[in-house]
Structure 1
Amino acid sequence: MWKQGPPAHLTASALVFNSSLDKVLLTLHAKAGMWLQFGGHFEPGDASVLAAATREAREESGIAELELHPELVHLDRHALLAAGFGRCSEHLDLRYAGVAHDEQAYAVSEESLDVAWWPVDGLPHASADEIGPLADAARRVLGA
């Protein structure tokens, strides 16, 4: 669970939708160099996986009041091919979803190069294979 652990790390993330569930708020991840959902490693104060995903989504989106749906929406295992991840070579990611009720209430964090809304049917090309299945699973849980 911790960055100091073995090369495969358990992580928590969240895909944030607008109210109509037709757009997702993504971060241009500084280390990966692509548009992704918000998320990252666990910290000692995280009481649960949902709490870790919520903390990461709030920190990286700048949406302090963001609440995530309590049901896990997606599981993913992916190798980290980009440099800059240190000893971490693989993430075992537990994924949640939430809704931002104000599309203007977000900010770019220190961990991101940018944050922007993307239409679910017009995701960034390099991220579509990653975000598309997650968005489909999340919208089923969120009731779309």
Structure 2
Amino acid sequence: MGSAESWASSAATSRSMRSNRPRDTSLELRVRRALHAVGLRYRVDFAPLVGLRSRADIVFTRARVAVYLDGCFWHGCPLHGTTPKTNASYWVPKLERNRARDLEVTAALTEAGWTVMRFWEHEDERAVVHAVRAVVSGKGIPS
């Protein structure tokens, strides 16, 4: 392999960023376990809309509900989101684009008749499960 220049500001940053999981985060696993325990069945890491480049963390296809469990850093949480000081010229536009994409995806799914639910990684999984269960069961899906 060639030695292409990395976007990471240090070897430690590179290791840290590689360790971030795109799916199966601890919150996702806890929420999925709890949803399953109350009898709800769903798709995981699923593209709810053909042609839209987005995969929701949890999808209830019959109810048309897409659930996103957003990381505070990656999606700009107003409480816990931070602006990196190192390599800011790379990170600031990237994080801004993530937030813009979240808005675009939510708008596109809503326009197509989907209910989009977004939660922050710091939220209590019981509250997340309660909210999701209420929406899904309100759409005629038994729980």
Q: TM-score, normalised by structure 1?
A: 0.28
Tell me which structure has the larger Cα radius of gyration: 2
Greater relative contact order (Cα < 8 A, sep 6+): 1
Q: TM-score, normalised by structure 2?
A: 0.28
